[in-house]
Structure 1
Amino acid sequence: MSGHVGFESLPDQLVNRSIQQGFCFNILCVGETGIGKSTLIDTLFNTNFEDHESSHFYPHVRLKAQTYELHESNVQLKLTIVNTVGFGDQINKEESYQPVVDYIDAQFEAYLQEELKIKRSLFNYHDSRIHVCLYFISPTGHSLKTLDLLTMKTLDSKVNIIPVIAKADAISKAELQKFKIKLMSELVSNGVQIYQFPADDETIAKINASMNGHLPFAVVGSMDEVKVGNKMVKARQYPWGVVQVENENHCDFVKLREMLICTNMEDLREQTHTRHYELYRRCKLEEMGFTDVGPENKPLSLQETYEAKRHEFYGERQRKEEEMKQMFVQRVKEKEAILKEAERELQAKFEHLKRVHQEERMKLEEKRRLLEEEIIAFSKKKATSEIYQNQSYMASGSNLKKDKDRKKISNAQVLEGGSKRASESMRAGSLLYGAQLEGESRRARESLRAGSLSYRAHPLPQH
């Protein structure tokens, strides 16, 4: 060019626009409860984020997201911290990582739905996709836990993983170095892909390549300030000494902060969009039937893909309709056959019942005939019996009259004999009574006579 044009200010325009729009950064903290996730995040951003202590008794893992707006100079950062509550606290830890996977996929799905809208506003859309996963490893000094290995293996294709050894002041330096080597060996042998700091940018290639050799970072977090010498530093104070958070001889906190925030934050955002989200988007679109090439490996436009899928769906619909029609006809035939069979069974049952009814009717008719004959015979016997009874009544009536006459004569004779016997008895009684009176009178006369004789023999004296 022969003169000044002005597009050299394009980077400045991009910077100004980015500053005006602001930035978002989303961090996922995965680790056991009480391992120091919240403390490390507070220390990284030099801010006391309000985070209440979580319970250890949740039946399932829960993810809690909190968004904060931070300002440094004229740069605005919308920071989202996603914490795994209750991770590793369950007795059965087989499915502990599944809620984490579901949450990451849900954020990808939300962004994809926004992107596929006819009228979309990605400029104002709050991007909630996870840009980095800080995976906190317990400082056991031995090896990775099975849960940690399974979780990182599941997440490595969905998010940028930076493993960190939490509470690194719990083991000695020699043990810590051996532990780092052991962890990296297990990650490589199990095919776990952790985030590698990019070395394609010449300005940061050297430091990033160097820092890749320090993974996983052994960190200590603390917001407490302790006086060391003549200045106050963030540290953890113990009876045996002080562990300074920002002292690289004590832990890798400074390395983590430099790599995560100062040097590679934008690369983490870009990797999330170009690698992990694109993988999710491609899988989803392929599930929906979209592809870039046709059957003959020829490139297809979106319209061609749409028409091909439309034709495929139309043919599939017709095929299914035909199958359903055939199935319906088949089921109708089967139902008709069942109904005909049932009709035959009912007809046979009806004929059988009809025969049984006819036989019963004939039996009843026969019984009725016999009963009528018995009634006629009984009527004849009854009439004959009544005749005999009348005759016997007449004969018994004449005999009864004769008996009555005989009884009258007999009663008269009895009465006559009784009167005779009564008169004789009365006569005998009167004779007996007369004899008794005569005897008593005789005795009275004799007594009087005896008294007069005695008086004569003994007269009364004279006064």
Structure 2
Amino acid sequence: MANPAPVSDGIGIANLPNQRHKIVAKHGAHFTLMVVGESGLGKTTLVNTLFATELSPPKNYARRHHKQLDKLTEVDIIKAELEEKQFKVKLTVIDTPGFGDYVNNRDSWSPIVDFIDDQHEAYMRQEQQPQRSEKIDLRVHACLYFIRPTGHTLKPLDIEIMKRLGTRVNLIPVVAKADTLTQNDLFTFKRRIREVIVAQGIRIYQPPVEPEDEGAVEHARMLADAMPFSIIGSTEDVRTLDGRTVKGREYLWGVAELRSLLIRTHMLDLISTTEELHYENYRQQQMETRKFGEPKVKKVDNPKFKEEEEQLRRRFTEQVKAEEARFRQWEQHLIAERDRLNKDLELAHIELDSLQAGYGRGSARR
């Protein structure tokens, strides 16, 4: 009778997660966050709260005495390197000052959408090069869209840009300064926003759910009920009920702790979703519409260029109308001059006929 085979400890597959952790910890991670919203909604404060550091100083809005009639949305890039327990994250924050702040907000989303597309384009062009070791990657992994707490519903400008952003980036809508609304008003406001998001077909970020993990399913349901997230930003240290110290504000219902929700739990999924979904969709679309290595055809859709084009068109139209009026006036003058000459010619013919008739009668008498 053969001896039973010795019990094996396996072939080592169970150790792969540890190996993966060491690789990720060694190289660190790149994370790019975009914040979009009107001025004064606490975007800078929230970013500083999330990453527990002053990435950007608070802005002084008191210097803005009036709103301009037309101004382009700007794109500011803030970079920082964070380290926690020997794990490094190269963080890039994309701010969009000027969005929605002016009387004429037509096409104010164009620089934001163009920036997202341009980062996909730049990364795709780098992938086509022979040397790909040092690629610059500014693809946006998450976009926090700040909604003003009006208590009513989304504005047309909100709907327009959220539709465009949702197909390009992991869109996370947030209600800014949620503490300015009562609990009942905030609940109603968030419900109306969710209804508009569904009715308008706006795509927002949905965290992954493992069906066999009951805890994950419950967590996903709680996130869905909380969307859009109510934001209360603060850079003050607050003591939680379980003894931890976090960045946030303390209220009767607890501490508004956002870092664990948006970063600690889902950062890697936001990165992989950007790579596997949004970037791949862009790459596939571009590959289907142009030849390999062919540069992207730039669309001249910058609102500044559109305005200049419209001004030139109006100026040209006015010049054409002025020339047409001058031509009609000149034509009328020619017609009047022709009529005068014809009348003079007719009088000359009558006078000539009269002279010829008088000459004929004189010759007959002789």
Cα distance, 1:200 vs structure 2: 2.6
Code of the residue aligned with 1:92 in structure 2: it is N
Q: Deviations over 1:283-316 (max 9, x none)?
A: 11001257xxxxxxxxxxxxxxx9xx9xxxxxxx
Distance 1:20 1:246, change over 3 A: farther
**Of 169, 175, 188, which residue of structure 2 is paired with 1:165?**
175
**Of 147, 159, 166, which residue of structure 2 is paired with 1:137?**
147
TM-score, with structure 2 as normaliser: 0.70
Distance in structure 1 (CA, Å) of the matches to 2:254 and 2:151: 17
Code of the residue aligned with 1:108 in structure 2: it is H
In the alignment, is residue 97 of structure 1 matched against residue 99 of structure 2? no
Structure-to-structure mapping, 1:396-435, within 5 angstroms: none
Percent identity over the alignment is: 37
Query: Which residue of structure 1 lines up, in the alignment, with residue 352 of structure 2?
Result: none
Distance 1:129 1:228, change over 3 A: closer
In the alignment, is residue 65 of structure 1 matched against residue 65 of structure 2? no
**Of 264, 268, 271, which residue of structure 1 is paired with 2:270?**
268
Distance 1:227 1:98, change over 3 A: same
Code of the residue aligned with 1:11 in structure 2: it is P
3-state SS of 1:5 partner: coil
Distance in structure 1 (CA, Å) of the matches to 2:19 and 2:244: 41
Structure-to-structure mapping, 1:368-407, within 5 angstroms: none
Distance in structure 2 (CA, Å) of the matches to 1:139 and 1:207: 25
Distance 1:79 1:228, change over 3 A: closer
3-state SS of 2:185 partner: helix
**Of 197, 210, 218, which residue of structure 2 is paired with 1:187?**
197
Distance in structure 2 (CA, Å) of the matches to 1:234 and 1:261: 14
**Of 172, 186, 189, which residue of structure 2 is paired with 1:176?**
186
**Of 16, 39, 43, which residue of structure 2 is paired with 1:10?**
16
Q: Deviations over 1:318-357 (max 9, x none)?
A: xxxxxxxxxxxxxxxxxxxxxxxxxxxxxxxxxxxxxxxx
Query: Which residue of structure 1 lines up, in the alignment, with residue 127 of structure 2?
Result: 115
**Residues 168 and 220, structure 1, Cα contact 8 Å, conserved in 2:** yes
**Residues 32 and 89, structure 1, Cα contact 8 Å, conserved in 2:** yes
**Residues 71 and 77, structure 1, Cα contact 8 Å, conserved in 2:** yes
Distance 1:274 1:225, change over 3 A: closer
Query: Which residue of structure 1 lines up, in the alignment, with residue 95 of structure 2?
Result: 83
Code of the residue aligned with 2:91 in structure 1: it is L
**Residues 198 and 205, structure 1, Cα contact 8 Å, conserved in 2:** no
Code of the residue aligned with 2:249 in structure 1: it is V
Backbone CA RMSD of aligned residues: 2.8
3-state SS of 1:85 partner: coil
Query: Which residue of structure 2 lines up, in the alignment, with residue 23 of structure 1?
Result: 29
Cα distance, 1:269 vs structure 2: 0.7
**Residues 139 and 165, structure 1, Cα contact 8 Å, conserved in 2:** yes
**Residues 54 and 86, structure 1, Cα contact 8 Å, conserved in 2:** no
Query: Which residue of structure 1 lines up, in the alignment, with residue 236 of structure 2?
Result: 224
3-state SS of 1:18 partner: helix
Distance in structure 2 (CA, Å) of the matches to 1:8 and 1:223: 41
Q: Which of 140-149 and 6-15 deviates more?
A: 6-15
Cα distance, 1:89 vs structure 2: 1.4
Distance in structure 2 (CA, Å) of the matches to 1:215 and 1:81: 22
**Residues 156 and 193, structure 1, Cα contact 8 Å, conserved in 2:** yes
Code of the residue aligned with 2:209 in structure 1: it is A
Structure 1 runs (4+) deviating above 6 angstroms are: 226-229, 231-235
Q: Deviations over 1:146-199 (max 9, x none)?
A: 111101011111001111100111111110000010111111111111111211
Code of the residue aligned with 2:198 in structure 1: it is V
Cα distance, 1:271 vs structure 2: 0.8
**Residues 56 and 78, structure 2, Cα contact 8 Å, conserved in 1:** no
Distance in structure 1 (CA, Å) of the matches to 2:60 and 2:164: 25
**Of 198, 203, 207, which residue of structure 1 is paired with 2:208?**
198
3-state SS of 2:167 partner: coil
The alignment covers a number of residue pairs equal to 279
Cα distance, 1:138 vs structure 2: 0.4
**Residues 69 and 79, structure 1, Cα contact 8 Å, conserved in 2:** yes
Query: Which residue of structure 1 lines up, in the alignment, with residue 47 of structure 2?
Result: 41
Distance 1:8 1:250, change over 3 A: closer
> Bigger radius of gyration, 1 or 2?
1
Distance 1:119 1:175, change over 3 A: same
Distance in structure 2 (CA, Å) of the matches to 1:71 and 1:43: 16
Code of the residue aligned with 1:287 in structure 2: it is T
Distance in structure 1 (CA, Å) of the matches to 2:238 and 2:24: 38
Which consecutive residues of structure 2, in runs of 5 or more, have no partner in the other structure?
Answer: 295-366
Query: Which residue of structure 2 lines up, in the alignment, with residue 245 of structure 1?
Result: 249
Distance in structure 1 (CA, Å) of the matches to 2:34 and 2:85: 25
Cα distance, 1:222 vs structure 2: 1.2
